[in-house]
A and B are shown apart, each in its own frame.
Chain A
Amino acid sequence: MGEPLRKKHIAFTALMWVLAVMMVYPFIMMVAISFRPAGQAYMPLFASGIMTTLRNYEEVLTHPNFFDWYRNTIVTVAVTILIRLVITLLAAYSFSRLRFRGKAAILAFLVATMMVPGETTMVPRYLYFQQIHILNTLWSIVLPETSEVFYLILLTEFFSSIPGDFTEAASIDGAGHGTVLFRIFIPLSGPAIATTVLFSFINIWNNFLDPYLFINRISMQLITPALQFFQEQGGANMPVQMAGSSLALIPVIILFIFTQKYFVQGVASSGIKG
């Protein structure tokens, strides 16, 4: 590399690092302020005389409902992922490997419904869930989430990419479709299943609209809408809000950093194929 080119490359590297810091700067501030006393919330990041305190975390953690929100969120995430995986894996196997009449039309219809945002159907969903008595229960979040077309497409695409020889050998041996799915397809689908679990975790953890709409008992609430509640209740105390936000975000960010590979694979595969 020539001298001017080298300098250019160093400048470029520096620029990328500055941009990277800017991308995470809001979260650095969030964590930094969560350890400050209320009076110092608006002082610069490296100002002198900043004191450190755990009071804000104490206030969040001693909120009578904080552990309810965490527990509700974890239960919702776990139950949704379990049901979602079972019914979506079955359907994906069928759509990718079995021939039946109306298959293409059903799939096309399901994909078309992805266009309708949950925002425009919130009223009928609320009225209907009221009629079937699942408002104010975690079922109002779990049950609608189990049949997400996005994950059906993701797993169907993945199953379609598994070579046919695998299944042919198995059916010659007289294995039924259930056996083929559970003994061959699922063990081969580790990465796709990991992507599904990771995406589901992040999406359900961050879900705001549905729990905000369908749950109005504070002890039944999930962590993200609870943050909004905390904000309205906590008033002006910025550091407490930041401590709450950190506790809501940190698990997801840590999970993401360790499982980034599956995340990138998932986005890339869902993206490229459209």
Chain B
Amino acid sequence: MKKSGMMRQEERMGYLFILPFLAMFAIFKLYPMIYGFIVSFWDRNSEMKLLDTTFVGFDNYISVLKSRSFWEAFGHSIVFSVIYIAFLMVFGFLAAVMLNRKFLGRTAVRTCFYIPYVTNMIAVGIVFKYLLNPTRGPVNAIFRLFGASGPKWFSSPVLALPAAAVVAAWAALAFHIITCLAALQEIPQDVYEVADIEGATPLQKIRYIVLPYLMPTLFMLLTITLINSFRNYTAIVGLTGGGPGTSSKVVSLLIYDDAFNFLKFSIASAEGVIFTVFIIIVNRIFTKARSVWENR
């Protein structure tokens, strides 16, 4: 009798303690998500219709899925994500392997690798627009030393999006390095010693020792990076503004434009819902792939 009373008391305290967090979460995070879903089924596609709105069912979804601009932005988002993820997975891992070796001033060098992570993409954008200025920037000055004129970077319809993805990935590199370094330290030292005795080359060590040990970490990083790659509004605004033209306009910019420049709030909400569903599906596929790989 006493025990169940104590249990009830613990349970009450359990709910009481999570209540403030859950209340704030429900009011300011969860409800807006549901609200977006609701708005996407109504017609709030002009300023007048904000108050006097009608239920239109899937009309907004149909016009989004039929619009060229949505699929263009969707394609740009995928290109951005693929380049962003590839850069981070490859160079995050390589940098971690190199920073794991002992050398003079390693701590200071690590700090230098981490600094871009704590800066914001607007300031980074200001600096990189300067560095990559096609005619006067220092990067193209190097190209001119060799007689080439150098690419137009953010002013080029072809290069703007990939360049933005690489700069955004560069700024996020520290997360991958730190995570991989922590995992590298878990590898028992004697495994390396055995490899040394067997005469393994550095590349063989990476292929047969480091990679297998780091696989779970890399898979986890891949899932996190996948989600982060869609949080790209600030990077694109800071670096290219979606241009030139619409050549680097990703879905997040399209949502912003449709809502706040064209006042098509319901269309923009539908775009948000469609893209969220897409993210959830891709994420499910990755999680599935991970569990298949782990149980193989």
Contact = CB atoms under 8 A, between A and B. Distances in A.
Interface of A: 9, 12-13, 16-17, 19-21, 23-24, 26-27, 29-30, 33, 41-42, 44-45, 86-88, 90-91, 93-95, 98-101, 103, 106, 110, 113-128, 143-144, 146-147, 149, 152, 177, 202, 205-206, 208-209, 213, 224-225, 227-228, 231, 238, 241-242, 244-245, 248-249, 252-253, 256-257, 260, 263-264, 267-268, 271-272, 274
A65 B35 CA distance: 35
Query: 4 smallest A-B Cβ distances: which pairs?
Result: A100-B14, A124-B36, A271-B179, A94-B17
Interface of B: 7, 10-11, 13-18, 20-22, 24-25, 27-33, 35-36, 39, 44, 50, 95, 98-99, 101, 103-106, 108-109, 111-116, 118-124, 126-128, 130-131, 133, 136-138, 141, 174-175, 178-179, 181-183, 217, 220-221, 223-224, 227, 230-234, 237-238, 251-252, 255-256, 259-260, 265, 268-269, 271-273, 275-276, 279-280, 283
Given A100-B15, A208-B121, A26 B131 contact: yes
Nearest to B266: A123
A168 to B, nearest CB: 14
Q: Most B CB atoms within 10 A — which of A17, A86, A94, A241? A: A94
Chain A: interface secondary structure? helix
Given A20-B112, A44-B138, A120 B272 contact: yes
Nearest to A125: B32
B123 A30 contact: yes
A113 B30 contact: yes
A86 B21 CA distance: 9
Given A91-B22, A117-B227, A144-B28, A177 B13 contact: yes
Contacts of A267: 174-175, 178-179, 182
A117 B25 CA distance: 15
A66 B124 CA distance: 20
Chain B: interface secondary structure? helix
B178 A248 contact: no
Contacts of B36: 120-121, 123-125
A86 B20 contact: yes
Nearest to B107: A260
